[in-house]
Amino acid sequence: MIKACLFDLDGVIVDTAKYHYIAWKELASEMGFEFTLEHNERLKGVSRMASLDILLEIGGVTKSTQEKEELADRKNEHYLSFILQMKPDEILPGAKEFLTECKKNGIATALGSASKNAMTILERLELTKYFDAIIDGTNTTKAKPDPEVFLKGAEALNVPASTCVVFEDAEAGVEAAISAGMKCVGIGSPSILSKANMVVSGLDKIKLQDIIKLQ
Ligand code: G6P
Ligand code: MG
C-alpha cells in the first residue's frame, strides 16, 4: 500500500530553472562565454557545485577551489534575488491541490530536493506546512542519482521505501527513486524519463487514485 509521496522541488512544485538559467548565464558572460538554454538542461537536478563544474567545462575554463567557491556564491546571490521575489502564484499547476489531496487521504508527504534554497522557496510559496518532512541540499551529502535524499525522506516519515512514490522531473532523480526501491512518477517528457513507472506533464494531470494503483 502506498503510504507516502516524496516530491522533488525544482521542476515539480515550481519552475526555478528559469532563475538558475539567468544566474548561470550572467556568470558565464562575465567569464566571456555563452551559456544556452540547451546547456541549462544539463544542470537540472544537479547540485550547485557540480553545476558550476559543468558550466566551467562548457566554457573551457579552469578555476581553483577558492575561485569556484566565490563563483558559486555569486551565482547564488543573483539566484536569491529572484527567489526572494517569488509569490505563491508561481506554484506549478496542480501541485498545491495534489498535496492537499495527500493530506485528506492520510498519505504522508516529504520534499526531496538537492537545493540548499529549498526552505526559502517553500516559505515564499507558503507551502512549508504541506510537507511532513523536508530533506534538501542542507541535510544530504550525496547527489541524485544516489538514493540518499529519498531514503532519508522515507526514514523521516517512518515508512518503508517500498511504500513511497517519488515525483521527479530530472533523469538523475528518477534513477535515485528507482534505486531507493520506490515507485516513480516522471514529470516532463516520456523520452527523457523513460525509467519512471509513469510520466505526466504536470501534477495537474494526475490524481492520487492513479498513484495508489502503482502498487
Ligand atoms: C535542484 C535544481 C538544480 C540546482 C540544485 C541546487 O536540483 O534542479 O538546477 O542546481 O537544485 O540548487 P541550489 O539552490 O542549492 O543552488
Ligand atoms: Mg527537479
204 catalytic per annotation: no
Domain that holds residue 70: 16-84
What atom in ligand 1 is closest to the CA of residue 116? 15
| 185 and 111 share one domain | yes
| 188 and 136 share one domain | yes
Q: Name the residue at shortest CA distance from atom 7 of ligand 1.
A: 45
**Angle between helices 65-83 and 48-59 in degrees, nearest 10:** 110
Ligand nearest to the CA of 41: 1
15 catalytic per annotation: no
What does pLDDT average to in each consecutive run of 10 residues of the chain (215 residues)? 96 95 97 95 89 97 98 98 97 98 97 96 98 96 94 98 97 96 96 94 95 78
Provide the grid cell at 12. 515539480
| 136 and 164 share one domain | yes
Length of the chain: 215
- Please report, for the domain that includes residue 74, its CATH number: 1.10.150.240
pLDDT the model gives residue 215:
65
Q: Is the CB of residue 174 less than 8 Å from the CB of residue 197?
A: no
| 95 and 43 share one domain | no
Choosing from 8, 53, 73, 136, which is the catalytic residue? 8
- Please report, for the domain that includes residue 162, its CATH number: 3.40.50.1000
d(CA 39, CA 54): 9
Q: Name the residue at shortest CA distance from atom 16 of ligand 1.
A: 48
| 8 and 67 share one domain | no
**φ/ψ of residue 199, rounded to 5:** -130, 135
Q: Please tell me the distance between residue 187's alpha carbon and the centre of ligand 2 in angstroms.
A: 9
Domains contained in the chain, number = 2
Give burial (CB, 10 Å; 0-12/13-18/19+) of 96.
middle
| 104 and 53 share one domain | no
Last residue of a domain, one of 68, 84, 100: 84
Annotation-wise, does 47 bind a ligand? yes
Q: Is the CB of residue 12 less than 8 Å from the CB of residue 169?
A: yes
| 52 and 76 share one domain | yes
Give the ipTM of the model, two decimals please: 0.98
Ligand nearest to the CA of 92: 2
**φ/ψ of residue 190, rounded to 5:** -60, -30
Ligand 1, pocket-test mutation among 19, 48, 117, most atoms within 8 A of CB: 48
Q: Name the residue at shortest CA distance from atom 11 of ligand 1.
A: 115
Last residue of a domain, one of 84, 109, 132: 84
- Asked if residue 114 has its Cβ within 6 Å of ligand 1, the reply is yes
Q: Please tell me the distance between residue 82's alpha carbon and the centre of ligand 2 in angstroms.
A: 18
Annotation-wise, does 43 bind a ligand? yes
Q: Please tell me the distance between residue 213's alpha carbon and the centre of ligand 1 in angstroms.
A: 31
pLDDT the model gives residue 92:
98
- Asked if residue 140 has its Cβ within 6 Å of ligand 1, the reply is no
